[in-house]
């Protein structure tokens, strides 16, 4: 991906028209695209964010709370931080409430409604019932939650008993997102998932029976031993349940993950390659579409109107996101920041009366534009005319040669002013977003256009776009 951006010619952004679904580009991006910036670390980052926090927020806002514990480590996961214990749960919950309280008088915290709250990890459902409820109570007390605020608890089936479910509901949670990943016992055991198919189905039925919150599960395609038949059964099983939503993600085998080592050592067969995962993605689109589920984004499906997917939809864009907890990531006024990932250091800074920010990235000049391009590509369609009017940057002229080739290659098609992704484009949407951002950034840096104030038309400088 970086080589394409370094090359700089229009052709380096072109797709393979011979087989756009399976091989549109040489490599598939595996992380969400977004603009870069200038990093600050430690104390410098904390002081800078404190100043930013004095500024009022406006517009849609999210809040993210990170629980950095897991009872076990799944082979494919790169988010494991700390082992779990009951004592750790209690101490962490108290400290997390303290961090929330720290900003209770900040304009960035209390100046505008918060529209979605997300407990991620790690494993938020690993927390003891009383600790989970304690943190939820603090969220309701100190954050100016919108009347229709979506409050999601992410977690897993293992050890998610009735006591934890009821504590979450009593604390105000109205959405559960559970990482089932696959219902197949062989596949689950091979990647160190704990519970079997029967236990999963029983627990999901019980959670759904409360009828007090949206229940959504994650499915992953591409695991070792996960044939197309296994994946089809995963989809069929999910559709047989009274779920509110299902999210389908491709497996990413990161180089330093335990899963990569198991495969390299011959303990597991290879995971699905890019082409097979493309077929698995296409199958999921076909099956959920035919079953009349609502398409919420390229990866998210809703079966009932209870599933709104607010946090995931807004989180890819440019809105503010308050962040709390060891390892949590957030954004204010375009500044992306992350809480200290080392638990002991997070606790130490917090005890000193400071918000334990570990790193902050200042926004680049066109950060809002770039995040908008990225989030729109995530949705499966993009309207460059609207974006051009919003930001005063002629993105259509900047990208027309590459967009035309992507259309010819079968990755998208035009519907009036909209560019709508095909199945192939949906599968490659993260790669497309990164390339689009890189292309716009490269040509803006080369001075290919004259920019006008947002809301007005902007025109070419009269020169051809720079290609290198």
Contact 204, 178 (CB under 8 A): yes
Q: pLDDT, tens digit, for every residue of 168-211?
A: 999 999 999 999 999 999 999 999 888 999 999 999 999 999 99
pTM of the predicted structure, to 2 decimals: 0.91
What is the CATH number for 151?
3.80.30.20
Burial class (CB in 10 A: 0-12, 13-18, 19+), 26: exposed
Cα-atom radius of gyration of the chain, to the nearest Å? 23
> Which domain-ending residue is among 315, 349, 382?
315
Contact 291, 231 (CB under 8 A): no
One domain for residues 189 and 305: yes
User: Does residue 9 sit within a domain?
Assistant: yes
Strand partners, 219: 181, 248
One domain for residues 9 and 76: no
With residue 259 as reference, give the H or E element that holds it. helix 258-264
Q: pLDDT, tens digit, for every residue of 5-48?
A: 555 689 999 999 999 999 999 987 665 545 555 699 999 999 99
One domain for residues 202 and 63: yes
One domain for residues 288 and 395: no
Residue 343 has pLDDT above 60, yes or no: yes
Q: pLDDT, tens digit, for every residue of 50-100?
A: 999 999 998 999 999 999 998 888 888 887 788 888 889 999 999 999 999
Give the mean pLDDT of 132-153: 98
One domain for residues 256 and 295: yes
Helix 274-290 to helix 228-240 angle, to the nearest 10 degrees?
30
One domain for residues 29 and 88: no
> Which domain-ending residue is among 300, 315, 330?
315
Give the mean pLDDT of 142-149: 98
- d(CA 8, CA 304) in angstroms, rounded, equals 45
Tokens of residue 322, six digits: 């308050």
Instruction: Look up tokens 């709104």; give the residue.
Output: 308
At 176 the three-state DSSP class reads strand
> Which domain-ending residue is among 251, 280, 315?
315
Question: What is the predicted pLDDT for the residue at 456?
Answer: 34
User: Does residue 441 sit within a domain?
Assistant: yes
One domain for residues 140 and 244: yes
Residue 2 has pLDDT above 70, yes or no: no
- d(CA 156, CA 226) in angstroms, rounded, equals 20
One domain for residues 281 and 400: no
Range of the domain at 444: 2-34+367-460
């Amino acid at each position: 991906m970086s080589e394409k951006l370094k090359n700089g010619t229009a052709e380096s952004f072109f797709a393979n028209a011979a087989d756009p679904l399976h091989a549109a580009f040489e490599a598939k991006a595996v992380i969400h695209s977004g603009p870069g910036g200038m990093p600050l670390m430690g104390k410098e980052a904390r002081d800078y964010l404190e100043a930013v926090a004095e500024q009022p927020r406006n517009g849609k806002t999210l809040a993210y709370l990170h629980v950095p514990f897991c009872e076990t480590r799944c082979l494919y996961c790169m988010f494991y931080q700390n082992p779990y214990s009951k004592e750790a749960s209690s101490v962490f919950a108290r400290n997390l409430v303290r961090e929330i309280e720290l900003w209770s008088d900040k304009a960035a915290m209390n100046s505008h409604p918060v529209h979605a709250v997300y407990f991620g990890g790690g494993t938020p459902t690993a927390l003891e019932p009383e600790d989970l409820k304690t943190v939820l109570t603090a969220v309701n007390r100190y954050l100016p939650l919108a009347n229709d605020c979506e409050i999601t608890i992410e977690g897993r089936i293992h050890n998610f008993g009735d006591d934890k479910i009821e504590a979450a509901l009593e604390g105000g949670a109205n959405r559960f997102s559970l990482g089932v990943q696959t219902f197949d016992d062989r596949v689950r055991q091979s990647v160190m998932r704990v519970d079997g198919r029967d236990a999963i189905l029983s627990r999901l039925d019980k959670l759904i029976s409360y009828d007090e919150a949206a229940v959504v599960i994650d499915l992953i395609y591409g695991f070792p031993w996960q044939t197309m038949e296994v994946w089809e059964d995963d989809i069929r099983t999910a559709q047989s349940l009274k779920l509110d939503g299902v999210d389908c993600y491709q497996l990413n085998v990161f180089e330093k993950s335990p899963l990569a080592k198991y495969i390299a050592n011959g303990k597991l067969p290879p995971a699905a390659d890019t082409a097979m995962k493309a077929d698995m993605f296409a199958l999921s689109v076909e099956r959920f579409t035919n079953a009349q589920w609502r398409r919420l984004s390229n990866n998210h499906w809703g079966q009932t109107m209870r599933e709104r997917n607010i946090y995931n939809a807004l989180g890819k864009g440019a809105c503010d996101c308050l962040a709390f907890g060891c390892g949590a990531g957030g954004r204010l006024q375009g500044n992306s920041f992350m809480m200290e990932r080392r638990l002991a250091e997070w606790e130490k800074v917090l005890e000193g009366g400071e918000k334990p920010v570990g790193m902050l990235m200042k926004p680049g000049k066109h950060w809002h534009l770039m995040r908008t391009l990225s989030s729109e590509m995530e949705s499966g369609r993009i309207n460059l005319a609207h974006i051009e009017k919003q930001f005063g940057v002629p993105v259509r002229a900047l990208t027309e040669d590459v967009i035309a080739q992507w259309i010819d290659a079968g990755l998208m098609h035009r519907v009036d002013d909209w560019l709508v992704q095909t199945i192939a484009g949906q599968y490659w949407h993260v790669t497309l977003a990164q390339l689009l951002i890189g292309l716009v950034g490269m040509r803006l840096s080369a001075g290919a256009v004259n920019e006008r104030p947002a809301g007005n038309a902007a025109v070419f400088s009269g020169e051809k776009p720079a290609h290198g």
